[in-house]
Amino acid sequence: MDPCILRVSGLSKSFGAIQALDKVDIEVARGRVHGIIGPNGSGKTTLFNCVTGLLKPNAGSVTLDGVDITNKPASWIANRGIRRTFQAGKLVPGMTVLENVMSGVNDGVATAAIDAAFRLPFVPSRRETAIRDRAMRILSLTGMDGSAGRWASDLVWTERQLVQMARALIAEPKLILLDEPASGWAVREIGEGRGDHREDPWHGDDRSSSES
Ligand SMILES: Nc1ncnc2c1ncn2[C@@H]1O[C@H](COP(=O)(O)OP(=O)(O)OP(=O)(O)O)[C@@H](O)[C@H]1O
Ligand SMILES: [Mg+2]
């Protein structure tokens, strides 16, 4: 097994005359938390965009868990285990907090979340109920479970960051990339634990039914 979950080698990306990434090498050890620090415009978001397939690098390679994911489509990469948040707090504004989190499940079980998003008059399936329960448990980790029914468009910046994290986590990714997760937060809030961290969001009694 590759000890690195992510290997970025010689990654370069330019926008016209702007060299946003210049032969970047990064190794992310399995099970570890890494930080990428740089001033505004130094290429952090561009790096995330190249790793997650939103941008095509001009050169270099990216491997996830030993698999070459360079230049693969974003959805393909997401389904193989990289999830991310966006600096601008991207959520679907016309969906509730809970529906946004539910929409983060992998493609194989996405149908129920889409049904929920479009509010079809139907009796919730076992699968949808399981996804909903899991989404609520993950939301509780972020302290946002009390906002499950609010519209995403009504959230403030920091709340959008928390919901994005929950949406990324529900897919049980191998690797999660957080783009400026602490932006807009007071220093006091960053160090504050939110939600109940004693609870395991994935290994409750709904796990088997959520995969059926
Ligand atoms: N789509 C784009 N078209 C043209 N230039 C871009 C594009 N995206 C990024 N850039 C440029 O690439 C450079 C790196 O930008 P990037 O957003 O990756 O930096 P960053 O480290 O994430 O900055 P910040 O801390 O402000 O979020 C900047 O000079 C930026 O203006
Ligand atoms: Mg950025």
- Model confidence over 98-130: pLDDT tens digits? 999 999 987 544 555 565 565 555 566 777 888
Taking a 5 Å cut-off on Cβ, the residues next to ion ligand 2 are 44-45, 87
Percentage of the chain lying above the pLDDT 90 cut:
67
Cα separation, 18 vs 81, in Å, equals 30
For residue 138, is pLDDT > 80? yes
- Taking Cα atoms as reference points, which of 139, 137, 134, 138 lies closest to residue 150? 139
- What is the atom index within ligand 1 of the atom nearest the CA of 48? 18
Cα separation, 158 vs 89, in Å, equals 8
> Which has more confidence, 45 or 188?
45
Cα separation, 91 vs 166, in Å, equals 11
pTM assigned to the model: 0.83
State the amino acid at position 206 in one-letter form.
D
Question: What are the pocket residues of ligand 1 if the criterion is a CB atom closer than 6 Å to any ligand atom?
Answer: 15, 18, 20, 38, 40-46, 87
Atom 30, ligand 1: residue with shortest CA distance:
41
Half-sphere exposure of 103 (CA within 13 A, CB side): 19
According to the model, what pLDDT value does residue 113 have? 59
